[in-house]
């Protein structure tokens, strides 16, 4: 069995890597983060490439590709820590595709796919406490998870308050009360696909911190030797690598399962969500230790990946909550991925 990405998937990865590297250099990320803003021109370019609709069916106005292609794309967005409303739009579209009525799909999916509209997602618990809604301040439509499933609402109909989190590369808000039309379909499947999308971005964050740590360990000298020659540093970098590779394998498996083996999707998505959140955060924190004092300064760019790892890794629950879900599903006899 060939576990490599297909030629088409490799081309998506290469194109995305080049695009994000060119448009979102660290100085551009810093500029937009400090302004807490998105660049409308760059958002339009992403829409023109069709990326918000990469996993939306052709009948709904999208490219008709799959979750693996979306995961490959979002990994590169995470690697760049790109300040874009891409995750909000792609994430909302995944839930609408899985759970929306024909009318909801026809109203919103073509707009999300083309970039005419942007999306957001978040949740409100039984006590009315809101999670952070990804990209809501700039969105046209939002998916609102609640205790009964999910609602779909134009953003203008929601009462929300913009929130400035530690992650300045993305816009967030909280909702005072849920509103909108009920999504009648398989909300759990949509949420699992959304978890995979977030996991893919976190894999990219982890990969970027790994490369930061490795590059610095090669260049920084102490006592006439690169610091990477010392076991305390090299072992820490090896642990980052292990976490990123495990997270990537689980995320790509979950993405494949979403389209090819849906009975494995719930467990696979929860495993990917848990491991990617841990790997991204632990990778960023370990990179901070490798960098030493320079890594703690405002002038160093590591902060943007570290902060995104912390916030994105808790969008749909904590790693512990995802692991609890894996255990619960295992007790029910749900299918587990062979890579586990």
User: Are 313 and 129 within 8 A, CB to CB?
Assistant: no
Do the domain assignments include residue 270?
A: yes
Predicted pLDDT of residue 224: 77
Taking only the tens place, the pLDDT of each residue in 321-339 is: 999 999 999 988 766 555 4
Task: Compute how many other C-beta atoms are within 10 angstroms of the C-beta atom of residue 5.
Answer: 16
Residue 50: C-alpha distances to residues 21, 62, 71, 227 (Å): 18, 7, 15, 43
Tell how far CA 196 is from the center of its chain.
7
Residue 112: C-alpha distances to residues 60, 62, 118 (Å): 10, 9, 6
Predicted pLDDT of residue 295: 87
Tell me the residue range of the domain where 290 lies: 188-332
| Count of domains forming the chain | 1
We report the CATH number of the domain holding residue 217 as 1.20.140.10
Q: Rounded CA gap, 286 and 236, in Å?
A: 7
Do the domain assignments include residue 27?
A: no
Q: Where are the alpha helices (DSSP H) in 84-225?
A: 86-99, 102-114, 187-219
Torsion angles phi and psi, residue 81, rounded to 5: 50, 45
Do the domain assignments include residue 75?
A: no
Closest CA to 244 of 195, 286, 202: 202
Predicted pLDDT of residue 337: 59
Do the domain assignments include residue 206?
A: yes
Q: Enumerate residues 6+ apart whose C-beta is below 8 A from 224.
A: none
Do the domain assignments include residue 261?
A: yes
Do the domain assignments include residue 25?
A: no
**Number of Cα atoms under 13 Å in the Cβ half of residue 68:** 17
Give DSSP secondary structure letters for 203-269. Answer: HHHHHHHHHHHHHHHHH-EETTEEGGGSHHHHHHHHHHHHHHHHHHHHHHHHHHHHHH-GGGHHHHH
Which residues of the chain register pLDDT less than 50?
339-340
Predicted pLDDT of residue 108: 98
Question: Helix and strand tally (H, E) in the chain?
Answer: 11, 9
Task: Record the tokens describing residue 329, joined without a space.
Answer: 């599903």
Q: Rounded CA gap, 85 and 205, in Å?
A: 16
Predicted pLDDT of residue 231: 82
pTM for this prediction: 0.95
SS3 150: strand
Do the domain assignments include residue 293?
A: yes
Task: Record the tokens describing residue 212, joined without a space.
Answer: 């930061």
Predicted pLDDT of residue 336: 59
The continuous run of DSSP H or E covering 152 comes out as strand 149-154
Predicted pLDDT of residue 340: 44
Do the domain assignments include residue 233?
A: yes
Taking only the tens place, the pLDDT of each residue in 8-27 is: 999 999 999 999 999 999 99
SS3 122: strand
């Amino acid at each position: 069995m060939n576990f490599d990405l297909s030629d088409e998937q490799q081309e998506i990865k290469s194109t995305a890597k080049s695009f994000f590297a060119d448009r979102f250099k660290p100085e551009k990320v810093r500029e937009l983060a400090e302004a807490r803003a998105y660049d409308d021109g760059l958002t339009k370019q992403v829409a023109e490439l069709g990326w918000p609709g990469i996993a939306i069916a052709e009948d709904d106005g999208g490219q008709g590709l799959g979750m693996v292609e979306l995961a490959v794309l979002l990994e590169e967005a995470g690697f760049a820590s790109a300040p874009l409303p891409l995750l909000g739009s792609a994430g909302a579209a995944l839930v609408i595709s899985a759970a929306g009525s024909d009318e909801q799909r026809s109203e919103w999916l073509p707009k999300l796919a083309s970039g005419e509209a942007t999306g957001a997602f978040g949740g409100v618990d039984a006590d009315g406490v809101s999670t952070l809604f990804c990209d809501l301040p700039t969105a046209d439509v939002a998916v609102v998870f609640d205790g009964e499933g999910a609602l779909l609402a134009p953003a203008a109909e929601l009462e929300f308050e913009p929130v400035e989190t530690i992650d300045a590369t993305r816009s967030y808000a909280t909702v005072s009360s849920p509103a909108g039309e009920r999504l009648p379909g398989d909300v759990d499947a949509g949420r699992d696909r959304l978890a995979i999308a977030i996991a893919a971005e976190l894999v990219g964050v982890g990969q970027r911190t790994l490369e930061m740590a490795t590059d610095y360990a090669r260049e920084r000298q102490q006592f006439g030797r690169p610091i990477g020659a010392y076991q305390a540093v090299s072992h820490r970098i090896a642990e980052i690598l292990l976490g990123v590779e495990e997270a990537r394998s689980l995320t790509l498996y979950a993405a494949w399962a979403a389209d090819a083996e849906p009975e494995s999707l719930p467990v696979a998505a929860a495993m990917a969500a848990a491991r990617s959140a841990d790997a991204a955060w632990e990778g960023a924190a370990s990179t901070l230790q490798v960098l030493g004092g320079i890594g703690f300064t405002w002038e160093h760019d590591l902060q943007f990946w570290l902060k995104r790892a912390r916030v994105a890794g808790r969008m749909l629950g904590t790693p512990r909550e995802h692991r609890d879900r894996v255990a619960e599903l295992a007790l029910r006899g749900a299918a587990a991925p062979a890579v586990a």
